[in-house]
Amino acid sequence: MNILILCYEYPPLGGGGSRVVAGLARALAEAGHAVTIYTSRMPGLPAEAFDGAVRVRRVRTWRRRADRSNAPELLVYAAAMLVAVLRDRPDRAADLAHVHFLLPDGLVAWLMRRLTGLRFIATAHGSDVPGYNPHRFRLAHRLLAPLWRRIVASADRIVCASMGLRDSIVRAAPEAAPVVIPNGLDEARFSPDQPRRLALLSVTRLFERKGLHHLLDAAAGLRRPVPIDIVGAGPQRAALEAQAARLGLPVTFHGWLDNDDQKLRDLLEKTAIFVLPSSAENFPVSLLEAMAAGMAIVTTADTGCAEVVGDAALLVPSGDVPALGAALDRLIGDPALRARLGARARRHFERAFTWTTVAATHERLYRQVLAERAKPADA
């Protein structure tokens, strides 16, 4: 197949969603498909390059940060991308278009469908769904709700990575029938059998919903204090640094690290315990990375995190600092439990979340959609 992908983030830009798009694109290309992705360009990045066998076309947009975009930047991206795809018409050579993020890329695809008849599949990743993240893009979702529902209705399929996000989509668009396909990861990326230092690691964007302030509060009450490494950037960094200093905690803030940075790989392979205390998640790639690296994991029971880890982690209610502290105390004091959970996490990852498995599921979906070509395009 000749597959066209649209996504406003592609490595080195973006976070977990960007890594998912890259992993799927590479796996599809390795399976013999011709894959072209249109994405954002920042200074220092070429207009066109190859990521392995994936052709990457970058469109210059008004994006100021590598790790995230705000709402005005996303609107500028949508306009610039629409101009680019109307100019280049990559859809003419494509058997199928797959867009990631209902906003902004779903908007581009919806407009292309109206203008050119483009048929497309759309994957939702979390903050592009109303109500998933009430503290971010809330006003934008309220203003764009009718348009968002049109985008959902115009796609041949809506894909999401978790049942929790599927439920959020259906609440916002009851006529939708999302298909759940989990995220994946390269199984050779990490070596799980490394000596590990007894420390806590969290890799996430620094937003309030990620719950890192709860992690620091829990760490302040641990029976045995251990070092804490936090990887990520975001608006909560200054507040978290002040909280760590006030509590006297041994925290290292590493900032945003590129996914290919050896420092990030070393932290995942050589740290004992991974913590993600989020109050809202779809299918966090950082959890997949921790599982693939064979880490002992503590995360939240009432988010998409629980769907990812299954029985391969200790689960606590989001926002419950005493429960989080008790789980951390338990792991810190029990090396045998850490080893069992780490090995279980790696096995769970290998069974369900390698890109070979996930890409094959996408291929089957693509072929189903192609078999329905006789269906007339919706306006």
Written as one string, the DSSP assignment of 180-195 is E----B-TTS------
Helix, strand, or coil (residue 266): helix
DSSP string computed for 130-170 = TTTSTTSSHHHHHHHHHHHHHHHHHSSEEEES-HHHHHHHH
CA distance 330 to 349: 23
Residue 8: what pLDDT?
A: 96
pLDDT in the model for residue 103: 94
* pLDDT for 379: 45
The pLDDT of residue 187 is: 86
pLDDT of residue 132: 77
Q: Which class in CATH covers the domain with range 2-184+355-371?
A: alpha beta
Averages of pLDDT over runs of 10 residues in the chain (379 residues) are 97 90 97 98 95 97 87 92 96 95 96 94 93 72 89 97 93 95 91 93 95 98 97 96 98 92 96 96 91 98 92 97 98 98 96 94 96 64
Structure token pair of residue 243? 């909280």
| Ranges of CATH 3.40.50.2000 domains, the chain | 2-184+355-371, 197-352
Q: What is the pLDDT of residue 199?
A: 99
User: Is the CATH number of domain 197-352 3.10.290.10?
Assistant: no
Q: What is the pLDDT of residue 259?
A: 81
